[in-house]
Structures are given as C-alpha cells and as structure tokens.
Structure 1
C-alpha cells in the first residue's frame, strides 16, 4: 500500500466513491476487496497485504457492520 496515506479501511472507503470522487486505482481495488468479502465471494483470510518494502503485514478484518461500509453493502445486496 505504498504511496498512500492511511490504512486499508480508509483506502477502501475512498475507493467506493470511484474515480468520480477522486479515488485512485489502488483505492478502488481496495474497495473491490471489501465488496468481495461483504458479498461473501471471498473470505478475508484469502487476502495478503504487504508494506512498501514488500514485507507481509497483518491487516485486521474490518467491522463490516459499521456505517462507513453502507455503500459496499448496497452495491452487493441491492
């Protein structure tokens, strides 16, 4: 997640707005991960994240029931 400020959740929530909201490609890709997990297509445990030096890092699974994920839930289940 190099060259980006913040964590997975911040990036994914920004990415849910798409390019119209100024999201960069990596942010949109993080939102696709969120949607895949929320939509029950891929379990969170299948994803691996790396720091800017290429070292594997632990990213805790977000609390998907929080309001900030509402748009992802709508995309997946509407």
Structure 2
C-alpha cells in the first residue's frame, strides 16, 4: 500500500457556487477575486473550479487587501 499522503488525500475542488456559499459573496465578487488573482481557478474543460485549501487560506488571511486600494486613492 502506498503511503504517499498526496495520493491519500486529493485536493477538494469547489465550484464557484460553493465558493460563493462558503464566503457569503455574490457571483460577481468571486469573479472579481479571480480577476485580481486572490483566487486562482483550476480549469477543467470549460469549467472553473477552486481549491478548497486556497479558499480556506484566503479566509484565514482576511480575504481582500483593502489597504492597497485605500493607499492608492489617498496618495
């Protein structure tokens, strides 16, 4: 039996609808996070999926970096 943990625990991929529900955001907000590079989608054919670990990591960090946008507008 192979004891490689990457094979034992495959990455969970989420649809944008699942990401919306996890984050409590609209479809447009998830799209914006993707365009800004905050979330990186996995392309499976025409479908986009998001790594659950990436979404959880983003939630822990504090989601979006508002300070950079605020510093540009105040400068």
Same fold (TM over 0.5): no
Q: TM-score of the superposition, structure 2-length normalised?
A: 0.24
Q: Which is strand-richer, 1 or 2? A: 2
- Computing the radius of gyration over CA atoms, which structure comes out larger, 1 or 2? 2
Q: TM-score of the superposition, structure 1-length normalised?
A: 0.24
